[in-house]
C-alpha cells in the first residue's frame, strides 16, 4: 500500500522484517560494497582473459565497463530513496512491472550469487594451501584431489556462520579483510611502477602510454568481449543496497555507498592494471599477462616477479597470497549476505515459503535464508568440482554475466518506469531517474544478449555437451545458465501454485497509480 508523508510525498511502505536498524554507517556500507566485488580475486581470475581479448587496451576497457555500472548504481540509488527494502531488485521490479517480473528479478540475484560461490570456495581452498606450503604445493595445485574441496566447503560453512552471527560482526570482519586487500594491491602496484621506471627495468616490461586509454586499433568484437569480462569484475557493489534496512539513514546512505563503491573500484582497477601491464607486459612467457600457464591466477605469479626472491620479497609474496585469500573470503561472506536478504524479502511478501522470513531473536539476522544459501552453495560446489572433461567451475563464473546483466538492467529500467510520471518535473529528475539509468539498462541488456549468443558456442567454454542424436555441441556456459533458468522457472511455478496470493497483491502491481511514482513536492 502507499502512505503519505507530512511533505505530501507518496512513498512505499516496506514491511518490517526484523533486521537490526542503524547497524551500519556510510563507511561500513562502502566496505560491504567493495568487499563483495573482491577486486583482488576478480583480477586474479579475469585479467588474463581481458588482456587476451583487448591486448594493451585493458585499462581503457576497465574505464568503459565502469560506465554502465555507475549508471545502474544511480538507478539503484534513486529507487532506494523511495523504497529502502532489502529485496532491492525483487521488490523494485515488482513495484514497477508487477509480481511476476519482480520474482524473476529476485531469482536473477539468487542465481548469480549461488553460481559464483563454487569459484570463491575453490580459490579460498587453493590459496590456503599456497599460503602454508607455497604456490608450488602439489596439494594446492590439485584442485579436485579432495583437500581443496574440503577446505572450500569448510570455508563456506565458516562464512555462513559469520553472516548468521550478525551484520556488525560481518562488517568488522570485512574491514580487516578489505584493508589487507587494498593495501597489498597498492604496494604491489607501487613496487611494479618503481621497477619499470628504475635503471634496470625487467625484461618484457613496457612504459605506460596514453595509447592504452585510446580506442584506436581496437576491434568491435574484442571490445565487446573485454567489456563483458570487465562487467563481472565490477559486479557485487549492490551488496551495499541489500543491507539498506540495517543502515543508518537507509533511504540515502545505501545509494551513496553503491555509487562510491563503483568509483573506488574504477580507481583501484586502473591503477593495478596499468602497473601490472607495465611490469609484466602482455607476452606469453614468464609473468606475461597472456601466459596460458597462469590464466586463472596472474596475481601470485606477477607478485613473485614484482617483489623478487629476497627475504622481504618472499614475505610480500606470501602477503599477496594472503590478499587473494582474504579477497575470496570477503566476497564469499558478502555474497551470502545479499542473497539471504533477497530471499528474506521475497518470503516477507509471500513470494517464497514463510520459513525464509525467520529472523534470529538475538542476532537479528535471517536464519533459514542464510543457512539455505550456504547449503545450496555447497550442494552445487561439490558436483561441479568432480565433473570431468573441462572446468565447469570456470564456466559457472562466466555464466554469471548473463544474470548480472539481467538483474542490473532490470533494476535500471524499473527506476525509469517507476518514476515515469515525474521525469519531466525537473532536469535532475529526467537525468537521474530517466536518461542515465535507462542508458545503463540498455548497455547491460546489449552485453547480456551478446554474451548469450557467445556462450552457446562450444569453443568458448571449458566444458561442452553434445545433443544426443544430433551431434551438436553446446557450450557449458550456456548449459549452466540454462539449468539455472530452468530451476528458476520450476521455483516460480511452485510458488504460483502454493502461494497465489503474492501474484494477486495490489501492493505489488503497477496498476495502482499511487505506486507509480514518488517525488518531493
Contacts of 493 (CB under 8 A, 6+ apart): none
Q: Where are the alpha helices (DSSP H) in 17-98?
A: 26-37, 39-54, 58-82, 89-97
C-beta separation of 317 from 300 below 8 A: yes
**Residue 20 within a domain:** no
Report the C-alpha gap between 210 and 192 in whole angstroms.
18
**Residue 431 within a domain:** no
Spans in the chain with pLDDT lower than 50? 1-12, 137-141, 143-144, 510-521
Report the C-alpha gap between 14 and 84 in whole angstroms.
7
Structure confidence at residue 3 (pLDDT) = 34
Q: What is the dihedral of CA 284, 289, 295, 298, to 10 degrees?
A: 130
Q: DSSP assignment, residue 198?
A: S
- Rounded to an integer, what is the distance from CA 133 to the centroid of its chain? 30
Helix, strand, coil share (%) of the chain residues, nearest 5: 75, 5, 25
Report the C-alpha gap between 509 and 95 in whole angstroms.
6
**Residue 131 within a domain:** yes
Expressed as residue numbers, the domain containing 265 is: 36-390
**Residue 95 within a domain:** yes
3-state per-residue secondary structure call for 111-158: HHHHHHHHHHHHHHHHHHHHHHHCCCCHHHHCCCCCHHHHHHHHHHHH
Structural domains counted in the chain: 1
**Residue 437 within a domain:** no
**Residue 382 within a domain:** yes
Q: Which of 321, 218, 288 is nearest to 48 (CA)?
A: 288
Contacts of 424 (CB under 8 A, 6+ apart): 430
Secondary element (H or E) of residue 443: helix 436-456
Q: Is the pTM of this model over 0.75?
A: yes
**Residue 171 within a domain:** yes
Q: Which of 135, 38, 52, 144 is nearest to 392 (CA)?
A: 144
**Residue 258 within a domain:** yes
**CA 75, 78, 84: angle at the middle one, nearest 5?**
115
Structure confidence at residue 506 (pLDDT) = 53
Q: What is the CATH number of the domain that holds 141?
A: 1.20.1740.10
Report the C-alpha gap between 103 and 115 in whole angstroms.
18
Instruction: Annotate 35-68 with b (16+ C-beta within 10 A) or e (fewer).
Output: bbbbbbbbbbbbbbbbbbbbbbbbbbbbebbbeb
Amino acid at each position: 500500500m502507499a502512505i503519505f508523508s507530512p511533505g505530501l510525498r507518496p512513498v512505499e511502505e516496506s514491511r518490517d522484517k526484523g533486521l537490526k536498524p542503524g547497524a551500519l554507517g556510510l563507511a561500513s556500507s562502502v566496505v560491504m560494497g567493495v568487499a563483495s566485488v573482491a577486486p583482488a580475486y576478480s583480477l586474479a581470475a579475469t585479467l588474463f582473459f581481458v588482456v587476451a581479448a583487448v591486448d594493451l587496451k585493458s585499462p581503457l576497457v576497465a574505464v568503459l565497463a565502469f560506465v554502465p555500472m555507475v549508471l545502474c548504481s544511480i538507478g539503484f540509488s534513486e529507487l532506494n530513496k523511495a523504497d529502502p527494502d532489502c529485496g532491492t531488485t525483487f521488490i523494485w521490479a515488482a513495484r514497477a512491472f508487477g509480481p511476476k517480473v519482480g520474482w524473476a528479478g529476485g531469482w536473477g540475484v539468487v542465481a548469480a550469487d549461488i553460481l559464483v560461490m563454487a569459484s570463491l570456495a575453490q580459490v579460498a581452498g587453493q590459496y590456503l594451501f599456497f599460503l602454508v606450503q607455497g604456490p608450488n604445493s602439489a596439494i594446492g595445485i590439485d584442485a579436485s584431489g579432495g583437500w581443496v574441496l574440503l577446505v572450500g566447503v569448510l570455508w563456506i560453512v565458516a562464512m555462513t556462520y559469520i553472516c548468521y552471527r550478525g551484520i556488525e560482526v560481518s562488517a568488522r570482519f570485512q574491514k580487516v579483510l578489505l584493508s589487507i586487500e587494498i593495501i597489498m594491491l597498492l604496494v604491489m602496484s607501487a613496487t611494479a611502477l618503481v621497477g619499470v621506471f628504475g635503471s634496470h627495468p625487467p625484461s618484457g616490461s613496457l612504459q605506460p602510454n596514453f595509447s592504452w586509454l585510446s580506442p584506436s586499433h581496437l576491434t568491435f568484437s574484442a571490445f565487446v568481449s573485454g567489456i563483458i569480462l570487465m562487467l563481472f569484475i565490477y559486479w557485487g557493489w549492490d551488496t551495499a543496497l541489500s543491507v539498506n534496512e540495517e543502515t543508518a539513514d537507509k533511504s540515502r546512505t545505501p545509494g551513496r555507498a553503491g555509487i562510491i563503491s563503483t568509483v573506488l573500484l574504477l580507481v583501484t582497477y586502473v591503477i593495478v592494471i596499468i602497473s601490472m601491464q607495465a611490469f609484466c607486459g602482455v607476452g606469453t612467457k614468464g609473468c606475461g599477462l597472456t601466459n596460458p600457464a597462469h590464466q586463472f591466477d596472474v596475481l601470485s605469479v606477477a607478485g613473485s616477479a614484482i617483489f623478487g626472491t629476497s627475504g622481504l620479497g618472499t614475505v610480500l609474496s606470501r602477503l599477496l597470497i594472503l590478499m587473494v585469500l582474504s579477497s575470496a573470503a570477503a566476497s564469499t561472506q558478502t555474497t551470502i549476505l545479499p542473497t539471504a536478504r533477497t530471499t528474506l524479502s521475497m518470503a516477507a511478501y509471500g513470494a517464497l515459503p514463510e520459513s525464509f522470513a525467520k529472523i534470529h531473536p538475538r542476532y537479528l539476522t535471517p536464519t533459514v535464508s542464510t543457512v539455505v544459501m550456504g547449503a545450496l552453495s555447497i550442494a552445487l560446489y561439490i558436483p561441479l568440482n568432480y565433473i570431468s572433461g573441462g572446468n565447469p567451475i570456470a564456466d559457472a563464473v562466466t555464466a554469471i554475466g548473463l544474470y548480472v546483466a539481467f538483474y542490473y538492467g532490470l533494476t535500471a529500467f524499473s527506476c525509469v518506469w517507476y518514476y515515469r510520471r515525474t521525469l519531466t518535473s525537473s532536469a535532475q529528475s529526467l537525468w537521474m531517474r530517466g536518461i542515465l539509468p535507462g542508458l545503463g539498462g540498455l548497455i547491460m541488456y546489449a552485453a547480456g544478449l551478446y554474451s548469450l549468443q557467445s556462450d552457446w558456442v562450444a569453443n568458448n567454454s571449458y566444458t561442452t555437451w553434445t545433443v544426443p542424436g544430433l551431434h551438436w555441441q553446446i557450450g557449458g556456459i550456456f548449459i549452466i545458465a540454462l539449468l539455472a533458468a530452468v530451476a528458476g522457472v520450476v521455483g516460480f511455478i511452485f510458488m504460483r501454485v502454493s502461494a497465489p496470493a503474492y501474484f494477486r497483491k495490489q501492493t505489488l502491481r503497477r496498476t495502482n497509480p499511487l505506486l507509480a511514482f514518488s517525488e518531493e513536492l
